[in-house]
A and B are shown apart, each in its own frame.
Chain A
Amino acid sequence: MRSAWASVCLLLAAHILWAQQPAAGPEAILQHAIALHQAGDLDGAIRGYREYLDAQPDSVEARSNLGAALARAGRYDEAIAEYDRALAKSPENPALLLNLGLAYYKTGRPAEAAARFERAASLAPQFKDQVTLLLASCYNSLGKYKQAIALLAPLEQEKSADQGFDYLYGTALIADGQDASGAAVIDRILSRGDSAEGRLLQGTLKLKAHDIDGALADLEKSIALNGRLPGAHARLGELLLSKGESDRARTAFGQELALDPDEFVSNLNMGVLAKKDQEYAEARRYFERALKARPNDPGVRYQMANVDLATGNPDQARKTLEALIGESPDFLEAHATLATVYYRLDRSADGDRERAIAQKLTDQRDAEQTGAKAR
């Protein structure tokens, strides 16, 4: 799916390319670079754009094309730098924003991508169609499922035949706890024939219902149908963890990370597994990657605080936990760990206070327990 959407990037780049006017001198260099770009000689094109930009450093078009060539060559960080320089000259350029968003998207930085997509759509409503699915994908990656649903729900009738739409929409609905609606979307997907996406969503739903064997069959089928479907290996890893199969879970998360080194769920779980094994440096590396995908994610920051506490840095743990509680006063685990941190720092009164809060939150959670839940 990402590769299909990535073509938007190239189309926009081509649009900009066709807008160039041939000219003598530096313009000839630019035209040659464009020709190389179109011919697929990306290294030659990049050299040409840079040569032109040495003479015409303020050319937004040439810098944007350079960014596009770099992105197409997979050199996303350099592309992002060039797009940013172009945007400094033309900050309200929706095409540039869209291309920059795509570069961020490709590098697994959905927060940055979403910000550019939102801005591009607000500046150029004609981009809204192109942006909607990308933005929804970003929201799903960021765990902002309600925002994804708000974006997609109005389009359900219009996109009822769009497999990509259904997959994103179903993912958001199930993650948001709207299982019945999610199941309807799954039915729609599978009515078109067996698919990796449909199986992934169905396996996810079964996993939520504690139908472990059913979920396992669906997830394995999903991977058999498309071993490169984003998220499938990660979900399988989560299922294997619930079965106590931590070694196989590690393998599954590793396969997900081979496809996308910044995938959130796998980095988080690999970090937690490393932390349980007291491989704290390794845990920290995974958590940092998870934070790249979801900056400021409270769950990851909480895990980092636990690593700090375990590695003899209770004061850093305290700072993180206090910040988390400032943002989310009902974060039970953060209160509980902060109590221990305070006791470790010989701040007994603060420890007693946090302990009491943790107990109160525990009691509230227990009172809300409905009963229809397995261990």
Chain B
Amino acid sequence: MRRWLAASGLCVLGGGWWLVASGEGPEPRRPHFTDIASKSNFAYRTDNSFTGRKYFPQAMCGGVAAFDFDNDGRMDLFFTNGAKLPEMEKTDPRFYNCLLRNRGDGTFEDVTAHAGLLGKDLGFSFGVAAGDYDNDGFEDLFVCNAGRNVLYHNNGDGTFTDVTERSGIGGKPKDVLSVAAAWFDYDNDGKLDLIVSNYTVWTPQTDKICGSNGREYYCHPRVYTNVAHRLYHNLGNGRFEDVTETSGFGKELGKGMGIAIADFNGDGYMDVFVANDTVRNFLFINQKNGTFKESGFEWGVAYDESGNAGSSMGADAKDYDNDGWPDIFYNNLKGQIWGLFHNEGGKYMKYASGVSRVSRLSVRSSGWSNGFVDYNNDGWKDMYSANGEIDNLGEISRQRDTMFENVDGKEFRDVSGLLGADFNHAGFQRGSAFVDLNNDGFPDLVVTSLDEKPRILLNSADNGNHWLLVNTIGRRSNRDGIGAVLKLTTGSGRTLYNHVTTSVGFMSSSDKRVHFGLGAEKAIASLEIRWPSGIVQTLKKVRADQILTVTEPGR
């Protein structure tokens, strides 16, 4: 840690010492993370059934969702798990999925069996998406699998029911690997629709063996075919229609990984970014008539800055410089450059990894799940990535996670080493979710790692910064408020932007509550919410440091 510098860089705000973060000034106080998983008794470990033979999907295991399944105001956790290979069955409890109820005292209770979420009848599970698809006030789950996908309806009594068959959401081409999903309301009809990112067609029997010099490694993705991602339209009454072909999604074949949802062009309709592995990335722009136009070329996000398709993994879309337009962050493998693309006024995206220094910071890491998160509540969204090599061949296959701290919305610096030993655990990290587990206003992290228990990283929340968490409840809009765009103006006139989405990173689903760090400011002059319905709601003089539930007004 650098020694704190001379007092010329200090100023007094809000009655406390506040240290300037940028340039050569003194280091700011920043929180750190502590793993509290060991305080709880649960058996879940991310198990990809690795026994020496390298089956292609093994690298992708350990999705995580943060959601409040029992509406007790505390966010709970759900983890997906692998299956025995080549049987492709959860033959043993070690492969079961896992639901942990947040007791509110820093511990979690394994309630998977009671909830009916073990997934015994599923194959190898990948991603998970949480969302209240039937607007009954209870968050439901969609789990992506090799084999059939599954929609679990939250019964509101601590249990879930597999409603896949009767919902019509389970249909997909045979043997397609579905790895991630996102809930969003693409037609603003008040019901959440679902986009599923698919990777390829695969079974243990068609698995290819790759290697050289007597050493096996995971095959290059290009040996497997590309497939279409699938869009399901929510018809209401628990029914969905597969609109992949009519919506335009069926025309584009990729190897889907993370999904980011945002209104990139500000037309009031949610668009979809899909990170593809070794295939160009897709940006589906909503045409407002039930169809989408894949516009990755037009927007400049299809390829990296040299026109190459990298191994894009996790994806997130948030406004990192608070200019009112959501930007894109996707990560990829070591030796490539993580993509930070700046939204140029809703017209196209401009490569920003270089000027922001992300190019230099990211090149040594292989990232999986990722996202923008203002971990230190300074009002600037930072860049987190769960890292680890795809394979276990090299000397630095195990990797530590990274946190690139946002400096005034212009550039980033790597502060990972300052966030505590638990944050810097080296492993084969995969899934991750941002969630405020103890409702203290500072984002916590939950991270899975192959062949390990997940880390539940509690934010020390000790830098004195202020915050606001907004829990949106839609009435005309979908009940979760997914897609609502929030603009917060502080007492000093600083404007901050965010929007409601649970789809963050890779295979994972984050806390749906919208988080704002306020820095030293306690006063919020206004909070404007543009709901998916088009209704604009403005709240004045909102108190900071609270979880604010906002219900959409009627017209």
Question: Hey, which bits of chain A sit against chain B, CB under 8 A?
Answer: 209-213, 241-247, 272, 275-279, 302-303, 306, 310, 333-334, 336-337, 339-340, 343-344, 351, 355, 362, 365-366, 369-375
Can you list 16 contacts pairing A with B, beta carbon distance less than 8 Å? Answer: A213-B395, A241-B335, A247-B360, A278-B351, A279-B354, A306-B307, A333-B303, A336-B280, A343-B298, A355-B297, A366-B226, A372-B210, A374-B217, A374-B391, A375-B218, A375-B333
What is the CB-to-nearest-CB distance from B389 to chain A, in angstroms, rounded to a whole number? 10
* Cβ A212 vs Cβ B223 within 8 A: no
What is the CB-to-nearest-CB distance from B184 to chain A, in angstroms, rounded to a whole number? 25
Instruction: Compute how far the CA of A276 lies from the CA of B357 in the bound complex, rounded to whole angstroms.
Output: 10
Instruction: Compute how far the CA of A373 lies from the CA of B220 in the bound complex, rounded to whole angstroms.
Output: 6
Which secondary structure characterizes the binding site on chain A?
A: helix
Instruction: Compute how far the CA of A372 lies from the CA of B280 in the bound complex, rounded to whole angstroms.
Output: 22
Q: Could you say which residues of chain A place their CB within 8 Å of the CB of B348?
A: 344
Question: Hey, which bits of chain B sit against chain A, CB under 8 A?
Answer: 208, 210-213, 217-223, 226, 278-280, 297-298, 300, 302-303, 305-309, 311, 333-335, 337, 348, 351-355, 357, 359-360, 363-365, 390-391, 394-395
* Cβ B354 vs Cβ A246 within 8 A: no
- Pick the most buried of B278, B308, B335, B337: most chain A CB atoms within 10 A of its CB: B335
Instruction: Compute how far the CA of A284 lies from the CA of B219 in the bound complex, rounded to whole angstroms.
Output: 36
A244, A275, A339: which contacts B335 (Cβ < 8 A)?
A: A244
Instruction: Compute how far the CA of A339 lies from the CA of B307 in the bound complex, rounded to whole angstroms.
Output: 11
Instruction: Compute how far the CA of A333 lies from the CA of B213 in the bound complex, rounded to whole angstroms.
Output: 31
Q: Could you say which residues of chain B place their CB within 8 Å of the CB of A333?
A: 303, 306-308
* Cβ B364 vs Cβ A245 within 8 A: yes
What is the CB-to-nearest-CB distance from A317 to chain B, in angstroms, rounded to a whole number? 11
* Cβ B226 vs Cβ A351 within 8 A: no
A213, A246, A340, A374: which contacts B300 (Cβ < 8 A)?
A: A340
Q: Could you say which residues of chain B place their CB within 8 Å of the CB of A244?
A: 334-335, 363-365
A375 touching B390 in the complex, CB below 8 Å, given contacts A279-B354, A366-B226: yes
Instruction: Compute how far the CA of A333 lies from the CA of B62 in the bound complex, rounded to whole angstroms.
Output: 34
Q: Could you say which residues of chain A place their CB within 8 Å of the CB of B213?
A: 209, 211
* Cβ B210 vs Cβ A276 within 8 A: no
A276 touching B220 in the complex, CB below 8 Å, given contacts A310-B351, A344-B348, A371-B208: no
A277 touching B210 in the complex, CB below 8 Å, given contacts A306-B307, A344-B348: no
What is the CB-to-nearest-CB distance from B414 to chain A, in angstroms, rounded to a whole number? 13
Q: Could you say which residues of chain B place their CB within 8 Å of the CB of A243?
A: 334-335, 364, 394
Q: Could you say which residues of chain A place their CB within 8 Å of the CB of B352?
A: 278
Q: Could you say which residues of chain B place their CB within 8 Å of the CB of A213?
A: 394-395
Q: Could you say which residues of chain A place their CB within 8 Å of the CB of B390?
A: 375
CB-nearest residue of chain A to B223: A371
Instruction: Compute how far the CA of A279 lies from the CA of B217 in the bound complex, rounded to whole angstroms.
Output: 36
* Cβ B211 vs Cβ A372 within 8 A: yes
* Cβ B300 vs Cβ A276 within 8 A: no
* Cβ B226 vs Cβ A276 within 8 A: no
* Cβ A336 vs Cβ B307 within 8 A: yes
Instruction: Compute how far the CA of A365 lies from the CA of B363 in the bound complex, rounded to whole angstroms.
Output: 26
B280, B311, B337: which contacts A375 (Cβ < 8 A)?
A: B311
A340 touching B302 in the complex, CB below 8 Å, given contacts A213-B395, A244-B335: yes
- Pick the most buried of B300, B305, B390: most chain A CB atoms within 10 A of its CB: B305
* Cβ B394 vs Cβ A276 within 8 A: no
Q: Could you say which residues of chain A place their CB within 8 Å of the CB of B226?
A: 366
A245, A278, A351, A370: which contacts B354 (Cβ < 8 A)?
A: A278
B297, B306, B391: which contacts A339 (Cβ < 8 A)?
A: B297
Instruction: Compute how far the CA of A344 lies from the CA of B350 in the bound complex, rounded to whole angstroms.
Output: 12
Closest A-B pairs by Cβ, 4 of them: A278-B354, A244-B334, A333-B307, A244-B364
Instruction: Compute how far the CA of A93 lies from the CA of B36 in the bound complex, rounded to whole angstroms.
Output: 83
* Cβ B307 vs Cβ A337 within 8 A: yes
Instruction: Compute how far the CA of A205 lies from the CA of B449 in the bound complex, rounded to whole angstroms.
Output: 34
Q: Could you say which residues of chain B place their CB within 8 Å of the CB of A351?
A: 297-298
Instruction: Compute how far the CA of A306 lies from the CA of B308 in the bound complex, rounded to whole angstroms.
Output: 12
A277, A278, A279, A303: which contacts B306 (Cβ < 8 A)?
A: A303
A277 touching B307 in the complex, CB below 8 Å, given contacts A212-B394, A245-B364: no
* Cβ A371 vs Cβ B220 within 8 A: yes
B219, B302, B307: which contacts A371 (Cβ < 8 A)?
A: B219
Q: Could you say which residues of chain A place their CB within 8 Å of the CB of B210?
A: 371-374
Instruction: Compute how far the CA of A107 lies from the CA of B364 in the bound complex, rounded to whole angstroms.
Output: 35
What is the CB-to-nearest-CB distance from A372 to chain B, in angstroms, rounded to a whole number? 6
* Cβ A210 vs Cβ B306 within 8 A: no
Instruction: Compute how far the CA of A277 lies from the CA of B356 in the bound complex, rounded to whole angstroms.
Output: 8
What is the CB-to-nearest-CB distance from B385 to chain A, in angstroms, rounded to a whole number? 13
Given A241-B335, A369-B223, A371-B219; 19 other pairs, CB 8 A cutoff: A210-B212, A210-B217, A211-B213, A242-B335, A244-B364, A277-B357, A302-B307, A306-B307, A333-B303, A336-B297, A336-B307, A340-B300, A344-B348, A362-B309, A365-B222, A369-B222, A371-B208, A373-B222, A374-B212
* Cβ B298 vs Cβ A275 within 8 A: no
B211, B222, B311, B354: which contacts A277 (Cβ < 8 A)?
A: B354
What is the CB-to-nearest-CB distance from A210 to chain B, in angstroms, rounded to a whole number? 6
CB-nearest residue of chain A to B337: A276
* Cβ A272 vs Cβ B306 within 8 A: yes
Q: Could you say which residues of chain A place their CB within 8 Å of the CB of B211?
A: 372
Instruction: Compute how far the CA of A275 lies from the CA of B311 in the bound complex, rounded to whole angstroms.
Output: 19
B222, B303, B337: which contacts A366 (Cβ < 8 A)?
A: B222
Q: Could you say which residues of chain A place their CB within 8 Å of the CB of B222?
A: 365-366, 369, 373
CB-nearest residue of chain A to B306: A306
What is the CB-to-nearest-CB distance from A273 to chain B, in angstroms, rounded to a whole number? 8
Q: Could you say which residues of chain A place their CB within 8 Å of the CB of B305?
A: 275-276, 306, 310
What is the CB-to-nearest-CB distance from A121 to chain B, in angstroms, rounded to a whole number? 39
Q: Could you say which residues of chain A place their CB within 8 Å of the CB of B360?
A: 246-247, 277
What is the CB-to-nearest-CB distance from A293 to chain B, in angstroms, rounded to a whole number? 20
Instruction: Compute how far the CA of A242 lies from the CA of B300 in the bound complex, rounded to whole angstroms.
Output: 25
CB-nearest residue of chain B to A344: B348
Q: Could you say which residues of chain B place their CB within 8 Å of the CB of A277?
A: 354, 357, 359-360
Q: Could you say which residues of chain B place their CB within 8 Å of the CB of A355?
A: 297
Q: Could you say which residues of chain B place their CB within 8 Å of the CB of A370?
A: 223
CB-nearest residue of chain A to B219: A371
